[in-house]
Amino acid sequence: MATPYYTKQPVYIEEPSGRYNNILDKVKFDDNPNAYARKNTPTRLNFPFTPTISVIQSANYSSYDLTHTNFQQRAFDSSTNMELNITAPMLVRSEEEALYVYNASLFLRAGMKMTFGQDDTPGMPPPVLRFYSHGIYENVPCMIRDFTWNLDSDIDYVEIPDPEIPKNIIRIPVMNMFVLSLITTYSPKSIREKFSVKDYLAGNLKGKGYV
């Protein structure tokens, strides 16, 4: 049975630096010598079953509280970076899809950790990811703030061999819900050289990730 998890979807998250050696690729490095060509290539997490995406953006204003007035004046402080809350169904209909969901959970959790100890480059902060959604959001630089994955008790599970210890078994629910929060981030250089409200309104900055 063909699985949509390995096909580029309207909604996905990408780690462009190749730090994770494309952990969600269909071909494992250990199984196919030709797969080494994919080492250090971007990792893309597809959401083939349309997720619910909530966008939060706000502005901060200071208040001038003058004596003997009925109303207060407001002064603009700043606009906050956009936050995205994603609730994504991850259905499992085969062992192949169960492995993808398991690796996807590892990818999301690794995306909140700095490199350390035995890593080749210890001390690197979590990577800046790119978020794409329905052509509305393109190349949005973001970081994972939190990730929730429940293993429910009232549902069937698919058993697969542990990729690291084949004699062990991993059980993945047939119906999963990934809930994660993303926060956007932009470098000072990019903001200074690329951003203007005029270009933003004209749609010229969408491909540069400004939202």
Say what the pTM is. 0.88
pLDDT given at position 147: 98
Mean pLDDT along residues 175-198 = 96
Give kind and range of the element (H or E) at residue 103: helix 95-110
Q: Which of 13-22, 143-152, 156-165 is predicted with the least confidence, judged by mean pLDDT?
A: 13-22
Q: E strands of the chain, at which residues?
A: 11-15, 43-46, 52-56, 59-64, 73-79, 83-91, 129-133, 137-149, 157-161, 169-173, 175-184
pLDDT tens digits for range 95-114: 999 999 999 999 999 999 99
Q: How far is CA 11 from the centre of its chain?
A: 10
Average pLDDT score over the chain:
91
C-alpha to C-alpha distance for 60 and 74, rounded to whole angstroms: 10
**Per-residue pLDDT for 9 more than 90?**
yes
Could you report the per-residue pLDDT of 30-73, keeping only the tens digit for each? 455 444 445 678 999 999 999 999 999 999 999 998 899 899 99
Helix H or strand E segment including 100: helix 95-110
Under a CB-based contact definition with an 8 Å cutoff, are residues 90 and 101 in contact?
yes
Which one has a higher pLDDT value, 40 or 84? 84
Q: What is the DSSP letter of 34?
A: G
> For residues 181 and 107, what is the distance between their CA atoms, to the nearest angstrom?
14
Q: What percent of the chain clears pLDDT 70, i.e. is strictly above it?
A: 92
pLDDT of the residue at 39 = 63
Residues 180, 148 contacting (CB under 8 angstroms): yes
Q: Are 186 and 79 contacting, i.e. CB atoms less than 8 angstroms apart?
A: no
* CA separation for the pair 181, 146 (Å, rounded): 5
The share of the chain scoring above pLDDT 90, in percent, equals 77
Vertex 20 angle, CA 18 and 25, to 5° = 90
SS3 81: coil
CB distance 103 to 24 below 8 Å: yes
**Cα separation, 23 vs 40, whole angstroms:** 10
State the sign of the Cα–Cα–Cα–Cα dihedral 80, 211, 91, 98. Answer: negative
Residue with the larger pLDDT of the pair 176 and 166: 176
Element spanning 202, H or E: helix 197-202
Looking at residue 29, what is its pLDDT? 43
